[in-house]
Amino acid sequence: MKGLIAMWENFGEQLYDNIIRDNRYLLYLDGLKNTMVLTLGAAVLGIVLGSLVAICKVYARTNKALKPLDALCDAYLTVIRGTPVMVQVMIFGFIIFSSSGFDVMVYVAMLAFGINSGAYVAEIVRAGIQAVNVGQAEAGRSLGLTNNMTMRYIILPQAIKNILPALANEAITLLKETAIVGYIAVGDITYKATLIRSRTYSPVPILLIALIYLLIVMLMTWGMRKLERRLQKSDRSA
């Protein structure tokens, strides 16, 4: 409480010291860039990996040849969902890629977060596929489509519309989870703000990044709602 009172007493000076002095705003911008690159890369990897795992598990229900691969997917989901993401990031940074330089740690973190996100995306996609009426697949096969074509042209397009809100929530969660990458010396925006705070002893950097995260999440939510409305409008006009 005393820190907040002191901050408001000389707020202008606090802003100058924590943003303008010594071009510290460049640290925020560099950290924001790393955060967005990390989030985007991990999200793409998570969606690709999660979709492959989900499709594999769906096919494994009717194809016994895929049972070993299905068991491998189950093991992946159990391990990733059963351990904290911070522990996974540290395993990647300090054990698997311990000999890597600091300049590649952002990609190590991207891999760790992508693999973690893939486990949750897999369940989202699988639930979306199973939510599609089974009659849709039967209709595709009656038209002479193969299982792969039915999945690609009939099932997945309908499933995507159902899972968009859940995927958006996963992306938002992923964005906020990246705040822990400072543990493996990745210079995200939280790490940069902590670095500035260690020099100024001011709460301004922490409050500033909280505002930045909030604005990004609000922007992502707005974009997803706009996309949902567009998809709903296309469904009504079809």
Query: 2-237: which CATH number, 2.40.10.10, 1.10.3720.10, 1.10.10.60, 1.10.1370.40?
Result: 1.10.3720.10
**pLDDT score, position 66:** 83
**pLDDT score, position 60:** 85
Integer Cα distance of 173 and 119 in angstroms:
13
Query: Structure pTM?
Result: 0.87
Query: In this predicted model, what pLDDT tens digit does every residue of 90-145 receive, in sequence order?
Result: 999 999 988 877 778 899 999 999 999 999 999 999 988 888 877 777 777 777 77
**pLDDT score, position 101:** 76
**pLDDT score, position 144:** 76
**pLDDT score, position 128:** 87
Integer Cα distance of 49 and 126 in angstroms:
12
Q: What is the pLDDT along the chain (238 residues), one digit of tens a residue?
A: 555 555 566 777 888 888 888 888 899 999 999 999 999 999 999 999 999 999 898 888 877 888 889 899 999 999 999 999 999 999 999 999 888 777 788 999 999 999 999 999 999 999 888 888 777 777 777 777 777 788 777 888 888 888 888 899 999 999 999 999 998 989 899 999 999 999 888 889 999 999 999 999 999 999 988 887 887 776 666 5
Integer Cα distance of 146 and 149 in angstroms:
5
User: Where in the chain are the domains?
Assistant: 2-237
Residues of the chain above pLDDT 70, percent = 94
Question: How would DSSP label each residue in the chain?
Answer: -HHHHHHHHTHHHHHIIIIIGGGTHHHHHHHHHHHHHHHHHHHHHHHHHHHHHHHHHHHHTT-GGGHHHHHHHHHHHHHHHTS-HHHHHHHIIIIITTTS-GGGHHHHHHHHHHHHHHHHHHHHHHHHHHHS-HHHHHHHHHTT--HHHHIIIIIHHHHHHHHHHHHHHHHHHHHHHGGGGGGGT---HHHHHHHHHHHH--SHHHHHHHHHHHHHHHHHHHHHHHHHHHHHHHHHH-
